[in-house]
Structure formats: C-alpha cells, structure tokens
Structure 1
Amino acid sequence: MLKNLKGKSSLIMGISSGLLLLAIPSILILNPEIRERLEQQTPLNPTSQKSFEAEKNQPSIVMNLVSLSAEEQETQLRKIADSNQSSLDRSRARYLLASILLKKFEGGPALRLLQGLDKEYPVLAPQILLKQGRAYELSNEPTKSQEVWKKIIERYPDSPVAADALYNLGKTDPQYWEQAIKQFPRHPRTHDIILKRLKDNPNQPQLLLNLLRNSLPNEPFTNQARDRLVQEFSQQLTPSDWELIADGYWDQNLYKKAAAAYQKASPSPRQAYRMARYFQIDNQIEEAKLGYKKLIKLYPDALPTALGLLRLADLSRTQDAIIYLDLVAKQFPLKAPQALLKKADLLARSGNATAANQARQTLINQYATSDEAAELRWKIAGQYADNGDFVKAWSWAQPITVNNGDSSIAPKAAFWVGKWARKLGKEKEAKEAFTHTVGRYPSSYYAWRSANLLGWPVGDFETVRALTPTIQKPTQRPIPPFGSDAFKELYRLGEKQQAWELFQAEIVDPTKLTVAEQFTYGLLLLDQNRNIEAINQIWQLKERETPEEQSQWKALRETLEYWQALFPFPYYDLILKWSQERQLNPLLVTALIRQESRFEKDIKSPVGATGLMQLMPATAKMVADNLNIKEYSLTKPDNNINFGTWYFDYTHKTYDNNSMFAVASYNAGPGNVSKWITKYNSSDHDEFVENIPFKETKGYVESVFGNYWNYQRIYNPEIAQLLEQIPKSQE
C-alpha cells in the first residue's frame, strides 16, 4: 500500500542542489605545487566512493542506533569503530563517535578517530576535516586548526562546508567573511556574519535584503529584518524590494504590514488582489469592493481576477453578485463550477427556484466532474436520506465516487453509499462500497469507519479506548528526496544541526521551495520540534498548482515516509507511559494530541489552553487536586500528558467509555454533548456525528478519529497488511 521513499528521489526531484557559486579570489587559492602536495597527503579513494554508492541505502547497524541517547550510542559505536574490518558502518561509527567526543570537549580522542577518515569516508570528507579543525581547537593547537580550514577551502571550494571554514578563518581575517557572503549567501554561517555586521553597523540595508533573499521566510530574524527595512530604509527600497518584503509578511499572515508594502511594489494582478483581500480580512468592506473592482478593470483576464470576482460576489447584493458570477462563468472556465454553485444558492435564497434549478442543472450537465458538482450531488443525496428515501439518496451519491473521485466529498459519499445499501438490505453492494472507500481513500476518516464495518480490528466508537494495538516505529530515518549525498548521510546519521545547515545552503531559492525541498524542510522542522510548522509544510504540498508539482506530490504520497512525517510520533515514551496508566489506547491519545496542539508543548490558545493536550488552567487544577499534585507546569510534557490522559479517561467514564462522546466532550464540553444525546438518535453513531450542530466539533471528531486511523495504518503492521490486500486505484 505504501512504499519506501528509496528509489523515488529522481521521480520527485528532477533537480540537483544547483548552487550558484562565484569564483574564489586568487588570494584564497593555493598554488599548484601546494595543491598537488595536499592531494598526495590525502589522495582520493575511488574504491571508498564506489563502496559508499553500493552500501549507502542498505540496512545499517549504525543507523539503527540514531534514536538512542548519546550515552547509549557511545558504547555500541565504540565496538563498531574498533572493528578491524573496513566498512561503511565502521566509518559511520567513527564519525558519530568523534561527534560525541567533540561535544564533550575531548579533542584528542576525537582526532584519533578522525585521522584518515576522510579517505575512507569521502562523502563526508569536508565535514570530517571541519571536525578535525574543531578537535585541534579543543587541543589548543590553533595553527593546525587554521591549516585544516584552509585545506577545506582549497580542496572543497564548492562544498558548503567551505562556508564554515571561511567563517572560522574570518574571525582573524575579514576577507574570508566577504568571500562567504558572496559565495554562500544561504549558509547559516553567512547569516551569522551578516547579523554580526548589522549589530556592529546597523546602517546596511543591502545586508538586510541579502538576509531576506537567502533565508527561509519563517526563520526568526526575517520579520525583524523586514521591519527594519520598512522603518529605517524605506526611501532606498526598489519596487522589487517592496514585493519581497510584502510577500514575506503575507506568508506570515501579517496582512496589514503586507498591504502597506504592496502599495509600494510594482503593480501586478497578485498585488491588486492581495490589497483588496486585506481590506476584506480587516472588515473594510467598501474598500475591499473598490479594490476588487480595480483588479477587474486593470487585469480582466488574470487568474487572480477570477478569485476577486468570486469574493466581490460574496460582498455584493444579489443582483450585482449574479452579474459577477456570470462573468466568472464566461471568462474563467476553471472557476465556472464554483460560480454556478454560488449563483444557484443566491437564486434559491432570493426565491427564484426556477432559475436556481437551471443553474444547478447546468453545473451537473456541463461540469459533472467538478468538486462543485460533487458538493451539489451530496447535498441532494442528503436531503433524500433525511426523508428516508435511501434509494434516491444512493442514486445521487453513487456518481460522485465515479465522476468526482478526487473531491473532498468523495470519501464521505463512498462510505454512505455503503451505509444506505446496508439499510436497503444489499450487503454485497455495501461491502463493495466499504472496500472501495478503504482502497481509494485510505487516509480518510471514512476509511476507518469502513474498515470497522468490514470487521477489521480497528475498534468502534464504543470499543476503541480499550484496544492495545501493535506499534512498530521505523528503526532508521528516511532518505530525504532532496539534497546531496552528504546531506542525506548527515540526516540519516541523526546529525541534525549539520544536516539543517547543509540543507539551507543547498536549496536553490528559499522563497520558492520545490516539492522535494519543502517535504525535506518538513522533515528537518520535525527534528527541531517545530511540529506545527513541519506538519503544515507537508500538508500544504497538496496546494501546489502546476501539473508537474501535483505529480511530484502524489508520488510522495505513495511513500510510507510521507505519512510518517505527516503523522509523527513525538513524545512517544510519555504517551505510552500515561496511556497505559489510564488504560487508554495510545494511538487514540496520540490522535487527540495531534489535533489539539500538533505536539507543541508551549503552545497557548487565545483563551489560555496550554500545551500538548490543550488543558485549561482551571481543568488542570481540578486534575492536580484529584491526583494530589501540588507543583506542576502545563508546559512540561510529562505533567501535561499525565493531566490530559486523566481528563480524557474522565470524559470516557462520563459516557460509559464511548470514545465519540468523550472526544466530542473534550472539544465542546459535557453539557453540549449531553444535550445532543438527548436530542439526536445516538444508536447510529455515524448519523450522530453528521447531526452534531457545532461545525467545529463535528470536524474535530472526524479529525481525531481520522488521525487515529492514520496512526493505525502507518504504525500497526497488522492493519498495514490488511490494507495491502485491498485493491487500490490512484488516490
């Protein structure tokens, strides 16, 4: 069902690191005699390189140790490093062991491990020399450190590691820092140089612009750089500078600042649209309408104009709105279905049923494969189902699974086709529908509901809390789809900081990441416990617009590594500990945490809910009193997960261990859930979920159990094996 990422790199990437390097000044180039002598001292080793190419993606004992603590790693790494047999794993062990020793400030022992390692482990040769330089520093041999750093620049001038060497050398000779800025503008050491220079002399707007052009947009210093440029150097900025600043603000949801910057950027459809959109977001409706009208007048054929017309229709009276929607349908065929659906709803609300039906019929007849046609079909199917006419409900919903297979409605339609077939006594058709839902939409909430109705051991709302599923986490880190062999090796070795720095140096344009770069960025953010950012980066890949990017994203979705990154397992040991203490299904607890906080321990909601499971302070105090705990902090994961699982157990006990009611109560409160139980028929849990009147809570319930199902299918080998047996068309 899900394949490993190995072998997908060429299909996903189609790019190289593509570093744009400037020529190194002659003062930094050693003469040919010295170059030749250095090469004789450390000759290239083609055999080692071939061995690495053959072994790099093979199972590795060392890679299995990466998740252990440094202390646990050290003992086992010594055994591998001391072995007499030359192998890639032995080289990896020596490298990692040297890294551990350097962190303990043990330069001499690290040097002994690193001696000659660059010859037998060429993929990380520059990094090995850099560590040698650090080891000499710790051994109080600065002259030798300088020699090693100069050797890096001479032997590996194009390697981003040269930026580290230039940085170190530049502490005593500023010319090296100049070279780093010119040659490695995206390297974090270069950013450090620029930030230091700005601290010493703030009046350098070009350095601020350099930071913005060559940094990932959500790095901590970027908004500060934008603010300084706007406040202190506005008269010196070009329209393209203002666009760079505005785009950065917009990406950070700082819409007011973005709008002010866009006013000074070069006119464009996107600029005009975003200006109007800002006014709408800020509830300046008349200004927004004027902005959208200006967009339409200046750029009548641009794609942002279609979006502007649709938004203008939302802000206008019915008669004017229909004019705008007709214009969309006429000029922008890709947006015509959306315009027709909006038009039908407007006409229906204004009492013109005949015209509304005509618009709907046009939508279904001319745009049958559109998402909007699926939405309309589903709405009509639901109306028939509410009236007990399951035959007509089925007849309206079933075409969605054929014509609109990629729409967001399709998984729900496929599942309910099965439910209605079962109500009609058509068990064979019901089973086929449930099987189709699992196979076609394996990541959906409705796949879990279908798997349950097919008899799989995944739990129902009434039984899921007590399950203890097998959990099998990966033993090795994945191979990222982007980056050099050196980057991939560092990442898989768990050298998180080095991999992060190398990634930043290798990306082509930080402001426009490729699909492969963005996914890899997500992996690295997970390493930094920036879990919300990581999950968002990976989730947002689905929004890529070009056919090529969509193809790359879909290729990624076929890999197990993609889903493991989208549904990560931070704080696994704590979750397991407290889930077992409360006799809760650990995957259900994990699913709840992912929905509540995306595993962010310090996050706070506007009303004060704090940490992983988003407990309110008053709730936390109640739990602490029950547990007789006097001192605690909700930003400490151990305290938070302890309290959160206690409360989750409490909500389960309140509703006789019905997890649907427990989850809904966790979001909406027990009072609301009790009212809904009284008001709605709760014997059919799927119908109850559909009837939840709070849109947020309904979505919350579906998301938590959708998360739970994904953790099952990704980490439970029993469920993964069952999925392998289901025929699957392209999702």
Structure 2
Amino acid sequence: MLKPLKDKRPLFIASGVLLFSVSSMILLTPKVVEFMEQQQQVKIEAALKEDPSKPSVVLTLAELPPEQRDQKLQEIAASETLSLERSRARYLLANDLLAKYEGGPALRQLEGLEDEYPTLVPYILLKRGRGYELTNEPEKAQETWKQLVETYADSLASAEALYKLGKFDPLYWDQGIEKFPQHPKIQEIIRQRLKENPKQPKLLLLLAQYVPNEIETNTIRDRLIKDYSSQLTAENWQFIADGYWATNEYNKAAQAYQKAPKTPQNFYRIARGQQLQPKGNNKEAVIAAYRQVMFGFPNSPEAAMALQRLAKLSPSETAISYLNQIIQKFPEQAPEALVNKAELLDKLNRKAEAAKVRQDLLSKYPNAEATADYRWQVAQRAAAKGDLVKAWTWAQPISTNSPDSSVAPKAAFWVGKWAQQLGRGQDAKSAFEHVVASHPQSYYAWRSAVQLGWDVGNFNDVRQVLPTVNKPNVRSIPPAGSEMFQELYRLGEDQDAITLFKAEMGDRQELTVNESFTDALLKLVQGKNLQGINQVWNLKHKDEPEQEKEWQQLRQTSEYWHALFPFPFYQTIMKWSQDRKLNPLLVTSLMRQESRFEPEIKSPVGATGLMQVMPATGEWVANKINLKKYSLKNPNDNVNLGTWYLNYTHEEYQNNSLLAVASYNAGPGNVAKWMRQYKVSDPDAFVEKIPFKETRGYVESVFGNYWNYLRIYNPEIAQLLAQYGHQNLTK
C-alpha cells in the first residue's frame, strides 16, 4: 500500500493530542487518526485512477519556457486536491528549479511526490538525489540513488543512478556496464574506459552491439575486425555487418556477412553489398553472389529479389529466363516481371509476344500496381492523341482495381477532367468526389476540391487566402515505449525521454512501425526535422503484413499527420507571412519542400536553410529591403528574405501561385519559355507539360503540402472532409 501523502498544513497528529483550528477543537484519538489515514489513502487511490489522456492544463504548458509557465504551475501545485495535474505541476517545477541550481526549493516540490505519482517514481528519486547534490548533501544524494537501485533494480532509471554513484565508487560503473550496456549514460562510461585503455574487446563489442546505427560506431567495428577478428563469433559478425549496412558501408557489410550465420538475407546482402561498392564492382562476382541466393534459398523472398537483380545485369534473352522464374514462382512479384519482360520483348522486336505478355498482365493481375501503371501509360498516350474516350476507358478501372497504387489519385482526377471535356458532368463530379474521399492526402484531392467548388484557394488566388490554423497545444501519447517514457515525453522532459527511449530500444536495429514513429517524434522535438519527417514517410515501406497493418492503423490518427506535416518555426512563419500578405500555409508548404525546416541545410549549389535561399539571391533581396546584417542560417533572416522573394515571384506573375512557385524552383527564364509553349488557361494541363521533371514534381509537392496543411490544421476543410468519413484532424 502506498504511504499517505504528507499534508503540508500545520497538522500535529498523535494519540491523545489536541488539534486546534479557528472554528473547532477535535481530539485525535487513534481511531480518528486511522480514519483520517484511510481517507487520505482513498484520495490518493482516486487520484491515481485518473485517465492520463484526459485534458490537462499542465501539458499545455510543457513546451513553454520555465519563466512563462512558473506562475501557473505554482498555482496548480499549491492545490490541496490530490490530482494528476498537481503531481505533474510539482514535477515540472522541481525540474525547472534544478535547472537553475536551486536544490532546496526543488526538494520541497519533490517531497512525498512518489506517493501520488507512481508512474515517475524512479525519476522522482533521481531528481531528489540531484537536489541533495545541489544543497551540498552528498551522503543523502548517494543514499537516495542507492534506494533507487535497490528498490527499482530493473528500471532503466537505475542505470542513471549507477552512473551518478560511480563518481563516488567506480564499482557501481562495473555494475552498470554489466546490467545496462544499452543505456546512453553507461555507454559514456564505456567510451571513457576505452579512451583510457583501448585494448578491451568486450567493451568494443558492447558499443558495436548497442550503438549499431551511428556512423561513429564504424571506427569501433573497424577496430574489432582489424585487431580481434579471430575472437569474433558468428553472432558478433552479424551485428557488426548489420551496423555497417545501417550506415551505408555496403562493401564492408558484405564482407562481414560472409562470416555471419547463413541466412537468405545475409546472402542477398553479400551480393547487393558487392554491387553497391563505390569503386565499381566485378560484375561476374556479383552475378555469382546473386545466383548463390537463388540456388541456396530458392523459395525465399530474397531469391525473388536476386532474380530481379540478375535480370537487370544480364543480356535480354538470359534476363527473360530469370523473369520467367519470377513469374512462375513468386506471384507477388510477377506483375512487375511481366512488365519488364514485355519491354525486353519490344526491344527484341517480338511485338506479338510482348502484346501477349501485357494481356496476361491485365487478365491475371488486374489489381497490381504494375497493371495500374501500364493502364495509365496507355491512357496518357490516348489523351495526347485527343482520344479522350479511350483515355477515360483505360484510366477509369485503376481507382477501382488498384486503389492503393501510387497512380490511382492522378488517374481518378484525370478521369474527372476528361469526363468534363466529354460533357459528362455527373461522371466528372463523381470522379472528383472519389478522389477527395479515397485519396484525401494527395495533391489531386486539392485539385478535385477546387473542381468541386470548395473554398480552398486555386492557383490564381491561393496567396491571398488566410486560413484559420488550429495547432495542437498538447503532445499526444506516443504509440510505443514504456508508460514512464510516455509521461516524460508529454511533459516536455525531452532529454530524459530521449535517453530512456534509446535505452528501451536497446540493440534492436529493426523497429516496429509504432516504435519507429515514436523515434521520429523524438527527432522532431530535437529539431531534426529532415530525419523525423523522412522517417515517418518511410514507415509505409514496411513489407511484413503485421507491420503494414500497424502502419494503416497509425495513419488513421491525427498524430501521424501532424508528424508528417509538422509546424516548427510557427511564429516566424506567421510573422513574415502576414508582413508579405502571403498565405502562411503556402509559405510553410514551400519551406517543407525546400529544406524540411532545417535552418542550416545546404543544397549542392549553395542554397541555404529553411526556404533554401541562394547566397546571391539573399544579397540581392537584402539590398532591396535595406537589411545590412543577416545570416542565411538564422531562421528569422532566412524567412524574411525568402518570403520577400516569394512575394516578388508572385508579383511577376500577377499573383498566379503556380507560376510563382515554378519560378522559385526553375527560375523566371524557364517559366517564361513554358508560358509561350503551353496554354496556362488549363493549369492542370500546364503542370503535366512542364518539361523539367524536377520542377513538375516540385510544383505538385508544394501544393500537395499546402492541401495537407489545410486539411490537417484548418477546421472548415476538416469539417468538409468529415462528410466523406474522414477524421477531423484539427481536434
């Protein structure tokens, strides 16, 4: 049973002692004391049953600077009512005080907190020990940390206590290395000991195993192979090879996999690693390695991948034989193999056979992605010749048969456009509604919403739109990690949360979808926006059915979309968007495409930072606005310059955002040439005809971003989408 919370009021309890108050005099007999303790315990247990996901004022304060939240936290912490809110407030106040080296006040906030806040008891003890350190009471600090290690021996928080205790007695560090090698703090100790004495293979192996995905660990792996190769087991070789592979050292990985257990994946990576080595490769050796996969593990998924690689490396006739093996043995890969086979037959001028193969594709695999791509190619060729009926006929089945294919949104939208041109208004409307309902996250959903008459801004007026933005002010519960980690994350205690989650994941290189998403959330809160966004995006590429299901469930949540389309530098974006009279979501969308919100990222040609301003452009704009001192790596300066230039490109094209955004990427000279070549009256057709693939993709990405920011953060559009069964992501 939890101990009763220590009451802060001047209450003196003892058998037969009188309690005096202003209004009454009560004799506290043992029975009265027992009754009061029971009542206090009831209050504590009631507080502990609170739902941690219910609305919380404290959590809205989690990301504010300490000075801005202090007064409100003090008010909540001073409440006499036991609650999760009060516990959270006290914990945050204590941490804020510790950060200011105010140990005494922090200890007062932490006093008795473990009784009412069981989720974070190990961290409460950690912080209490730190409080004693700051009040120059090292014995009490050590006593507190020892209590943590003894009482919560298996808690990863104990690793931090051992780290601290080791400063007084190094034997505690030995204990930490033995029990918690996965913890970042213990890894600091391991690195220090290796610095003092590098000839310790056991410690080298611990870092190679438990810090697998960091490039810096490659020096550890190199040293193990150079100095201790004969001592390594097959298991050691496995995590060494996996680490090389994770850090893109493919040739080194291939060599290490040769000494790891003989699995299909390892054999495939031996071949692929040899093929990817940067200084060229021995083509015959690579082919031989892929054939080893094919013959050694003939029914494995890796055998199918090896056959695909062999087909690309081989002469046409031999390639066709490899593709035939895929078609016969691996139904999931057969559609793509049929497409490749047909293309090879065309090159060999065997047109009739190629036509037969394509007919097999259509009849046997109508739902495959490869079939959808082929249908779309035929539809595009027909449309280019003006045969809209044929184009419509070929494209229409795509969204029904292959709704998850990458081309489905585009095909469905153009089915609507072609229907419009054929005078089939109801078919067009149905097609546009289908895109909005089935592919709400796509660029073509925005284009369909425009055709349906929604107030979402079009190419010629989107810059003037000023949408309402509802930005979440509380972090959601991450889908992975311990309850203790989840609470630390929601409180904004990021360093503790990051350290704990790293330790919880241990030596695992392959994370589940939910774990990888949680890891991406941590990257986002660290400002590693490029890594975080890309990691969320790549979740869809999981092959296992269970992981595919987990991803599908995750993408139904608002948290997924907020992470994929985050809103860092919100105040800076809003300020300069308002000053330039630009739609802030358009600015955000261009920024996401240009730099993924990274202030210091540089393109190969020197474009720098958030909106990727070229140095020469920055200097030109700075002169225009009389900005004497600036840095392209400073977010405020960069967005100032970038939004001015975006406004300039809009003014050049009479506020046509399609042309302004295309010019931002390709330059005004190219856009002027395209305007002479193609009709701008139909902007959708104009986008399709942009001859630069990069710029065409850029335009679609920027406005696809814009649509997603609109549907995620704008309540009016979210409400419209809700009519099609979509979750309101702005809540």
| TM-score normalised by length of structure 2 | 0.90
In structure 2, C-alpha distance between the alignment counterparts of 1:53 and 1:610, rounded to whole Å:
50
Q: 1:592 is matched with which residue? A: 590
1:295–1:414 Cα change, 3 Å: same
Distance 1:536 1:225, change over 3 A: farther
User: Which of 253, 269, 283 pairs up with 1:286?
Assistant: 283
Query: Aligned match of 1:151 in 147, 151, 157?
Result: 147
Which residue is equivalent to 1:178? 174
Whether the 8 Å contact between 2:47 and 2:116 is mirrored in structure 1 is no
Matched, 1:97 2:93: yes
Distance in structure 1 (CA, Å) of the matches to 2:589 and 2:225: 42
In structure 2, the residue matched to 1:725 is 723
Once the two structures are TM-superposed, the CA of residue 47 in structure 1 deviates from its matched residue by 5.5
For the residue of structure 2 that corresponds to 1:112, the secondary structure is helix
- 1:107 maps to which of 89, 103, 108: 103
Contact 2:433-2:448 at 8 Å conserved across structures: yes
State the Cα distance separating 1:359 from its structure 2 match. 0.8
Q: 1:251 aligns with which of 246, 250, 258?
A: 246
Q: Is the 8 A contact 2:183 2:506 kept in 1?
A: no
Structure having the higher Rg: 2
Residues 603-682 of structure 1 aligned to structure 2 (within 5 Å): 603-682=601-680
Question: Do structure 1's residue 48 and structure 2's residue 52 form an aligned pair?
Answer: no
Q: Are positions 1:188 and 2:194 aligned together?
A: no
Q: CA deviation at 1:105?
A: 0.4
Q: In structure 2, give the amino acid aligned to 1:364.
A: L
Contact 1:49–1:121 under 8 Å retained in 2: no
The reply to whether residue 274 of structure 1 matches residue 272 of structure 2 is: no
* Secondary structure of the corresponding residue to residue 57 of structure 2: coil
Q: Structure 2 CA distance, aligned partners of 1:481 and 1:724?
A: 24
Is this contact kept in 2: 1:285–1:315, CA < 8 A? no
Q: 1:568 aligns with which of 562, 566, 569?
A: 566
In structure 2, do the counterparts of structure 1 residues 242 and 551 end up closer, same or farther at CA, with 3 Å as the change threshold? same
2:397 is matched with 399
How far is the alpha carbon of 1:534 from its aligned partner?
1.1
**Is this contact kept in 1: 2:209–2:240, CA < 8 A?**
no
Structure 2 counterpart of 1:374, from 362, 372, 375: 372
> Pick from 220, 223, 233: which aligns with 1:225?
220
Distance in 1 between the 2:548 and 2:264 partners? Answer: 24
State the distance in 2 between where 1:257 and 1:45 align.
Answer: 61
Tell me the distance in 1 between the aligned counterparts of 2:222 and 2:593: 33
The farther-off stretch of 550-559 and 257-266 is 257-266
Asked if the contact 1:213–1:511 (Cα under 8 Å) also holds between the matched residues in 2, the reply is no
Instruction: Give the alignment partner of residue 141 of structure 1, picking from 137, 147, 169.
Output: 137
SS of the residue corresponding to residue 62 of structure 1 reads: helix
Preserved CA contact (<8 Å) 2:573 2:587: yes
Check the 8 A contact 2:126/2:148 in 1, yes or no. Answer: yes
- Does structure 1 retain, via aligned residues, the 8 Å contact 2:290–2:306? yes
Partner deviation per Cα, 1:244-295 (whole Å, 9 max, x = no partner): 2222222222334333433443444333333333444445372443433343
Aligned positions of 1:526-537 closer than 5 A:
526-537=524-535
- Deviations 1:541-571 (Å, cap 9, x if unpaired)? 1111121111111110000011001111111
Which amino acid in structure 2 is aligned with residue 274 of structure 1?
A: R
The 1:696/1:481 distance shift into structure 2, 3 A limit, reads same
Candidates 189, 202, 205, aligned match of 1:209: 205
Displacement of 1:727 after TM fit? 4.0
CA separation of 1:653/1:277 partners in 2, compared to 1, >3 Å: closer, same or farther? Answer: farther
In 1, the alpha carbon distance for the partners of 2:658 and 2:612 equals 18
Identity of aligned residues (%): 55
Q: Structure 1 residues 289, 379: CA separation in 2 closer, same or farther (over 3 Å shift)?
A: same
Residues 312-323 of structure 1 mapped to structure 2, 5 A cutoff:
312-323=310-321
Question: Which among 341, 360, 363 is matched to residue 339 of structure 2?
Answer: 341
Please say if residues 49 and 123 of structure 1, whose CA atoms lie closer than 8 Å, have aligned partners that are also in contact.
Answer: no
2:214–2:247 CA contact under 8 A, matched in 1: no
Q: Distance in 2 between matches of 1:370 and 1:486?
A: 44
Q: Aligned equivalents of 2:161 and 2:448: distance in 1?
A: 58
Structure 1 segments of 4+ aligned residues over 6 angstroms from their partners:
none
Name whichever of 720-729 and 484-493 sits farther off: 720-729
Please identify, of 692-701 and 160-169, the stretch whose mean Cα deviation from structure 2 is larger: 692-701
CA separation in 2, counterparts of 1:689 and 1:671? Answer: 17
- The code of the aligned residue for 1:553 comes to W
Decide whether the 8 Å contact of 2:580 with 2:647 is kept in 1.
yes
Paired residue for 1:432?
Answer: 430
Partners of 1:81 and 1:93 within 8 A in 2 = yes
1:567-622 CA distances to partner (integer Å, 9 max, x unpaired)? Answer: 11111111111111221111111111111111111212222222112222222222
More displaced 10-residue stretch of structure 1: 367-376 or 615-624: 615-624
**1:728–1:440 Cα change, 3 Å:** farther
Structure of higher RCO (CA pairs closer than 8 Å, 6+ residues apart): 1
Range that drifts further, 609-618 or 92-101: 609-618
Give the deviation of 1:484 after TM superposition. Answer: 2.1
**Displacement of 1:175:** 2.2
Which moved further from structure 2: 566-575 or 265-274?
265-274
**Partners of 1:291 and 1:621 in 2: how far apart?**
54
Amino acid at match of 1:240: E
* 1:122 counterpart (99, 118, 124): 118
C-alpha distance in structure 2 between counterparts of 1:389 and 1:446, whole Å: 22
Amino acid at match of 2:435: T
SS at match of 1:244: helix
What are the within-5 Å matches in structure 2 for residues 44-83 of structure 1?
48=44, 50-83=46-79
8 A contact 1:218–1:252 mirrored in 2: yes
Q: 1:660 to 1:295 in 2, by over 3 A?
A: same
Residues 685-710 of structure 1: CA deviation (Å, up to 9, x unaligned)? 11111112222222221111111111
How many residues get paired? 686
Instruction: Decide which moves more: 121-130 or 249-258.
Output: 249-258
Separation of aligned partners in 2, 1:265 and 1:632: 54
